[in-house]
Amino acid sequence: MRDHQLSILVICLGNICRSPTAEAVLRAKLDAAGLAGQVVVDSAGTGDWHIGHPPDVRSQRHAAQRGYDLSALRARRVAEEDFRQFDLILAMDEDNLADLQRLAPDQGARAELRLFAHVEVPDPYQGGPAAFERVIDLVEAASDVWVENLARRLGTS
């Protein structure tokens, strides 16, 4: 994280659908804005069921249709150290946010905890194709807003 000026961790429940999608989309949009070298983007889950797994094949397919490659990502669980290392930890829904507030260490946490989008990004896991499209629609829109916000924080706009 030393070489970067800002670090962002995106969080959902399983780290196989919403947050890996957000990691890839936000990274691509930062890259397009010329900010990739200044911002670290990572993702994790509050749950531990899928640790080490690649993103859900449905998320991979819907993302690939819009030009985002999720295939190299692997799920991990959020750790206490994340609250000390990251500047921003962004949750996909209110349950994720409440879990993060509970998991934050008493000592040394410095991350700002917020929702990723101005609305909750609903869990698509039990849903059909429309649920996965809704995730990527919300994630793309929120990522555009974050790129502007981060550019302001970096003093580049």
Count of beta carbons in the 10 Å neighbourhood of residue 23:
24
In the chain, where do the E strands start and end? 6-12, 39-45, 88-91, 112-115
18 binds ligand 4NP (CB under 6 A): yes
Sign for the pseudo-dihedral over CA of 6, 150, 51, 46 = positive
99 binds ligand 4NP (CB under 6 A): no
d(CA 41, CA 56): 19
Work out how close the CB of 47 gets to ligand 4NP at its nearest, in angstroms, rounded to a whole number. 7
Among 12, 26, 28, 111, binds ligand 4NP (CB under 6 A): 12
Among 9, 17, 35, 138, binds ligand 4NP (CB under 6 A): 17
39 binds ligand 4NP (CB under 6 A): no
Catalytic residue (choose from 17, 18, 56, 87): 18
Comparing CA positions, the residue from 22, 12, 115, 119 lying closest to residue 63 is: 22
Work out how close the CB of 105 gets to ligand 4NP at its nearest, in angstroms, rounded to a whole number. 22
Q: Which two tokens stand for residue 113?
A: 């905890």
Q: Residue 35 or 117: which CB sits closer to ligand 4NP?
A: 117
Q: Which residues bind ligand 4NP (CB under 6 A)?
A: 12-18, 49, 123, 125
Active site residues: 12, 18, 123
